[in-house]
Chains A and B, each alone.
Chain A
Amino acid sequence: MAGDLSPGFLGRSVPRVEDARLLRGAGRFADDIALPGMLHAAFVRSPVAHALLRSVDLSNARALPGVRAVLTYADLRPQLRCDRIPLALPSAMLRFDVDPFCLAQRELCYAGEPIALVAAESRRVAEDAARLVELDFEALPAVVDARQGLQSGAPKARLDCPDNLVAQTVLEYGDSEGAFAAGSIRVTERFRIHKGGGHSIEPRGVVARFDAVEDMLTVWDGTQMPHRAKAVLVASLGLAEHQVRVIAPDVGGGFGPKAVFHPEELAVPAAAMLLQVPVKWIEDRLESFTATVGERVQEWEMEAAADREGRLLAIRGRLYHDHGACTPYGVALSYNSATNLVGPYVLPAYHLEIQVGLTNLVPAAPTRGAGRPQGTFVMERLLDGIALQLGIERDEIRRRNLIAPAQMPYATPIVTRDGKAMTYDSGDYPECQRRALAAAKWSEFSGRQAAARSEGRWLGIGMANYVEGTGRGPFESAAVRVEPSGEIRVTTGATAQGQGTKTMLAQLVGGVLGVPLEKIHIVDGDTAASPLGLGAYASRQAVTAGNAVVIAARLVAEKARKAAAAMLEVAPEDLDLADGCVRVKGIPGLKRSLADLARALQGTPGYALPGDLEPGLAAASDFQPGAIAYTNGTHVVEAEVDIHTGAVRLDRYVVVHDCGRMINPMMVEGQVLGGVVHGIGATLFEWMRYDESGQPLCGTYADYVLPTADVVPRIEIHHMESPSPLNPLGIKGAAESGTIGAASAIASAIEDALKPLGVRITDLPVTPARLFALIRAAEQRRDSR
C-alpha cells in the first residue's frame, strides 16, 4: 500500500531535520521564552509526606523586595471553575477518583506537593521568599508502602478518601484452578519492583501569558499532550476553547511524566490571569525528584504451573500496585503490567487479583514502558524458574511456549478496555528469538563461561522476550498544505520531545509528494495550528500521525495531479510527482511545480479554478488505528558478577527488534538504544528511595544513579520487519520497547553467572549490596549442606 512512497524516503536513515537548529543552540525551550514584564515563580512545597495544614504565614515572604505575590489555594480558587483539577479518566477498576489540587487546600499528601506559588522579579528572589513562608501543620501518619497501606488498621493516605484501596480488579480467563491441580511443575515467587523516573534532561516548565487585549491565554508548556492540557485549562479556568492556546515548544525529553498534567500547569496560568502579567516557572532538579510523577513500585505474589515439557498451563497470583497520592492518569500502569505479563507466549489460564493502593508518595504515572517492564519481568522470571526446575535450557522453554507465526493474528483470551480481545496483529516471535540467540552466539557461550570460571570469573548470559502494544488511538490528526510559495506546511496534533517527530513526518510527506525535506515545515504541539490532537504517549506517533500525514499527503498529490492535468491538458494517469513538480511521464520539461499549482488553486479574482477543483492545495486526515499494533523483541545480555563485591558489569547486549516497517532506521535505533539504557538504569542503578516517613532520600544525581557511558555495554541492534496489517504503512511504535526486556534479560544473566550458587533474582534494583547479600546467603546454604 505504500507503493507511491519514493524509496529514497521510506526506510532510509535520513539525518534529522531538527538537529541543525538544536545543535547550534537555536532551540527554543520553555526557559528560552522571555516576555516583557514576566515574573518568575517558585513553589513552596510540602516538607512532609502527610499532614493537615493549619495555617500559612506569608507576611515575611510578601514583604521581601522583588516579590510581586505569594499565592495560596484560597487566592487562586476564584480563578477556578472547580476545586480540583479535572483529570479523571474513565475506568471500571477505579473505586473513586482522586484528582489533585493545583495548590494544596488543607491536606498535604506527599513531600513535594505544591502549597503556595511565589511570583517575583527573578527565580532567585522567588526562592528566597519561598523559604520565608511559614507553615503550621499537624503531622499525620504516612503510608509509604501500598501493600501495608491496604492492611486493616493502616493509616489513611488521604483523609478525603474512603480508604486506601483506590482500585481493584481481577483479570482472569481459563481454568487456573484446574490447571494447577493438573500441572506437574509449580514455581512460586514474590517479586518486588522499585520506583524510578523519566529524568528527561530538560525538567518541566510552564510560561503563561494572559493577553487582556485579545482576551486570550497562551501557555508554553513542556508537555507531551498540549491538547489535553488545553482541555484541562478550559475546564478549570472557565475560558472558551478559542481563548486558550497551548504550545509545546522545544521539549528536552518526555519519557512519559510530561504526558501527565501536573498541578503547576494550572497554578502558573491561573496566577498569570490573576496578576495580569506573564509568569514563568521552570522546574529545578530537586523538584523533578520530589514533584514529577514516576513509577514502578509493585509487589507480585505469583505462581506458575507447567507440564513436564515446560509448557505453561496457568499463572495466578496477586499484584499490589503503588499509585501514590492521587490518580492523575487513571490506572493504565497496573493494567499494562497485568496484560503485558502474557507477552509473546501461549498462556492457557490466568488469574490475577490487582489491588491498587494510595500512598503518601508522588503520584505514579506512565514512565517509559508504562507498567509493561514489570509484567514482563514477572513472566520471564517465572519461565526461568520453570526451566531451572525442569533442567531445560532457558531458550528452549521459551521456544516451547512462544506463539507461532502461523497463529497470527493471535487473539489472546484477554478482553481489553474496549471489550475486544487483546490481539497481536503480526510478528514472528520464534524467528526473533532465533536471530537474537544467533547474533549473541548463545550456544557458544557455555564454553566461554567455563573458561572464565576456571580463572575465577563469573560470567552469565541472559535473555528475554517481550511485546509492547503501540500506536494507541483513538486517532491523530494531520493536515498538509502546499503554500503558493512552494513551502509544504504540515500541521499535526503530534508533539515532539526530541524523538525526531518532525523528521519522521517530513520524510513521509516528502516521500508522497516528491519534495525535499527542507521544503517541508512541520508545526506540531500547538493547539492553534491543529484543532484536534492527542500527542505523545503509548509509542504512538509514527503509527497514528505518520499514517495521518501520508493519507493527507496522498490526497494533496491526487489533487495536484488533477490540477496539473487540467492545466497541461493531459490525463492525470500520465503524470507523476518528483522534485517538487507534477511531470508528464516521458516528456522532460512538461511539468508544473507544486507552487504553481498552489497558486492556481488559491484563485485569481474573477477566474475559475483549474479543473473545477475545490480551492487550495491542501488536505487533512484524522487517522484512527483500528487496534493496537504489537511491537516485539528479544534481548540477550552477557554479565560478569564480581562475587566478592556483588558488582555487575554488562559486557555485551544484543537486541532484535521488530516494529514493523521502519520509516527511519537510525531514529528507531536511537529509540531502542535509549530504551535499553533506561532499562539498564532501572535494573542496576536507579532507585528513588524514601524513608519510613515518606521523605525522599534522592534529590540529586549523586543519590539517584543514572547509567553513564562507562557502565553501558556495546548495544547491538538488529531489525526484523513484520508489517502491521492495521495501518497503511505497516508500522508499529518503537519508543518504549527497549525498556521492557532489559530487567528480565539482565536478571537472567546474573542468575546464570551465579548458577553454581543457586541465586534467584526477584527484587529490583539489583544493587551490589543486595546481590552480595544473596551471594553470601547462597554460600551459607551451600556450606551448611
Chain B
Amino acid sequence: MKPAPFAYHRPETLAEALDLLARLPNARILAGGQSLMPMLNLRMATPDHLIDLGRVSELSGISETAAGLSIGAMTTQRAIERSPLARAGCPLLLEALAHVGHQATRNRGTIGGSLCHLDPAAELPVAACALEATLTIAGRSGKRSIRFDEFPAGYLTPRLAPGEILTRVDLPRREQGSGWAFEEFSLRAADFAVVAVAALLALGADRRVRRASIAIGGLGAAPVRLAAAESLLVGHPCDAERVADAARAAAELRADGDEVYPAEYRRHLAGVLTRRALERALARGRKGV
C-alpha cells in the first residue's frame, strides 16, 4: 500500500497549474486528496505527476453573486459547512455536506475535488445535480461553463478535456418559499450513500408546485435528475398521492447492484428516499422558511 513513484508539483497560481497540466504527461490534479490518496496507495491510480492545487489561493473562497453563490473549486467542505453565506444561500448543499465523511476528511476534502472525482455514491454531486450548479472550467485557451448534469461522462469520469481544471461552482440562491431536503441511506453516518436523494420544491402562491428539482445518486455511474417524478409534481398541488406517484417513478429507474445492495433493493430505496425527501421539502416549503 505504497504509491507507485510520482513527481509532486505545487503551483501557486491557476496559470502555473494549467501550464504544468498541459506540459506534464500522465499528470493528475490533487484537490484535497481524500479519495485520490487512498487510490494512489492502492495503486488504483498511477500518475507520473501529481499537481497539488492546495496552494492556489485564487481557487478557494465563497462569494455572493447576483444569482446566488460562487464557490471556488478548492474551497474545503468544512469551510462551506461553516460559511454563513452558504448556510443562508444554499441550505440543501449544507444538508448534503452533513453526510459527507467525517470532519477530519471535510477539513481536507474540497467541493471541486468531490465533483471531479464523481464517486457514484458521493453526496456533493447529487446536491450539485439537484441545484443545477454551473461549473466554470479553465483551460489554457480560456474558460467555459457547463451545467452540472452535463458534466459526468461516465463512471468516475468528468467531462474535462485534457489540460482543463474545474475552478468554480456557481449555485443559485434559494428562492423564497422553496423547500429542500437531502436524504440518504447508508449503514454508518460517515459512509458514502447507498442511495441519496436531493430535492428542491418551489411552491407558488396557489400552493401548487411551481418548480421541482430532484436528483438521485447511487443507482448508476453518476447522479441523475428524476425528470419523470418532477413532471408529475409541477403544476399540481402537492399531496400525499402525488408524492407517492413521484416515489414510484423513482423506484422504476434503472439501477446497478451487487451482493450487499442488489439493484432491486437500490430501486426500492430510491422510492423510499424520494418520498421522504419530498415530504420534508414540502413541509419546509409550506412553512415558507
Identify the A interface with B (CB < 8 A). Answer: 123-124, 127-128, 131, 284-286, 644-647, 685, 687, 689, 697, 699-700, 702, 705, 707-708, 710-711, 767-769, 772-773
Contact = CB atoms under 8 A, between A and B. Distances in A.
B260 A687 contact: yes
Contact of B260 (A127, A767, A772): A767
Given A123-B2, A284-B1, A285-B1, 16 more contacts: A124-B2, A127-B43, A131-B4, A286-B1, A645-B269, A647-B187, A685-B188, A687-B260, A689-B260, A702-B191, A705-B188, A705-B191, A708-B189, A708-B190, A711-B189, A769-B265
Interface in B259-289: 259-262, 265, 268-269, 272
Interface residues of B, number: 23
Contacts of B261: 768-769
B237 interface: no
B260 A700 contact: no
B188 A700 contact: no
Interface in B182-197: 185, 187-192
A144 B259 CA distance: 15
Interface in B55-73: none
A768 B185 CA distance: 10
Contacts of B259: 689, 697
A141 to B, nearest CB: 21
B154 interface: no
B272 A645 contact: yes
Contacts of A124: 2-3, 5
Contacts of A769: 260-262, 265
A768 B187 contact: yes
B38 A700 contact: yes
B272 A644 contact: yes
SS class, residues of chain B in contact with chain A: loop
A705 B192 contact: no
Contact of A128 (B4, B42, B185): B4
A689 B192 CA distance: 19
Interface in B137-179: none
A687 B43 CA distance: 24
Contacts of B187: 647, 685, 705, 711, 768
18 contacts: A131-B4, A131-B43, A285-B1, A645-B185, A645-B272, A685-B187, A685-B188, A689-B259, A702-B191, A702-B192, A708-B188, A711-B187, A711-B188, A711-B189, A767-B260, A772-B265, A772-B268, A773-B265
A285 B191 CA distance: 19
Contacts of B185: 645, 647, 768
Nearest to B5: A128
A687 B187 CA distance: 13
Nearest to B195: A645
Nearest to B187: A705
Contacts of B4: 128, 131
Quick one: which of B2, B185, B190 has the most chain A CB within 10 A?
B2
Nearest to A769: B265
Nearest to A697: B259
A710 B188 CA distance: 7
Interface string B203-236: 0000000000000000000000000000000000
Contacts of B260: 687, 689, 767, 769
Contacts of A128: 4-5
Quick one: which of B3, B5, B269 has the most chain A CB within 10 A?
B269
Contacts of A705: 187-188, 191
A127 B42 CA distance: 11
Nearest to B2: A124
A645 B275 CA distance: 12
Contacts of B189: 708, 710-711
Nearest to A707: B188
Contacts of A123: 2
A338 B175 CA distance: 65
Nearest to A772: B265
A645 B271 CA distance: 10
A157 to B, nearest CB: 22
Nearest to B192: A702
A773 B272 CA distance: 15
A689 B1 CA distance: 21
Contacts of A710: 188-190
Question: Which 3 A-B pairs rank lowest in CB-CB distance, beginning with the nearest?
Answer: A284-B1, A124-B2, A769-B265
A694 to B, nearest CB: 14
A145 to B, nearest CB: 14
Contacts of B265: 646, 768-769, 772-773
A710 B268 CA distance: 25
Interface in B75-118: none
A131 B46 CA distance: 13
B42 A700 contact: yes
A645 B187 CA distance: 11
A334 B44 CA distance: 38
Nearest to B268: A772
Contacts of B268: 772
Contacts of B5: 124, 128
A645 B43 CA distance: 35
Nearest to B265: A769
Interface string B31-51: 000000010001100000000
A284 B41 CA distance: 10
Quick one: which of B1, B42, B189 has the most chain A CB within 10 A?
B1
Nearest to B260: A767
Interface in B1-34: 1-5
A129 to B, nearest CB: 12
A147 B190 CA distance: 37
Contacts of A127: 1-2, 43
Contacts of A284: 1
Contacts of B191: 702, 705
A124 B259 CA distance: 34
Contacts of B262: 769
Contacts of A644: 272
A772 B262 CA distance: 11
B235 to A, nearest CB: 28
A644 B269 CA distance: 8
Contacts of B188: 685, 705, 707-708, 710-711
B50 to A, nearest CB: 15
A284 B272 CA distance: 39
Contacts of B1: 127, 284-286
A702 B191 CA distance: 8
Nearest to B262: A769
A779 to B, nearest CB: 12
Contacts of A685: 187-188
A268 to B, nearest CB: 18
A745 B185 CA distance: 25
A173 B1 CA distance: 52
Contacts of A768: 185, 187, 261, 265
Contacts of A645: 185, 269, 272
Nearest to A648: B187
A253 to B, nearest CB: 19
Interface in B238-272: 259-262, 265, 268-269, 272
Nearest to B273: A645
Nearest to B41: A284
Nearest to B259: A689
Nearest to B46: A131
A30 to B, nearest CB: 16
A253 B192 CA distance: 28
B34 to A, nearest CB: 12
A24 B272 CA distance: 48
A633 B260 CA distance: 32
B37 to A, nearest CB: 13
A281 to B, nearest CB: 13
A420 B262 CA distance: 50
B189 to A, nearest CB: 4
A286 B38 CA distance: 12
A773 B259 CA distance: 13
Contacts of B192: 702
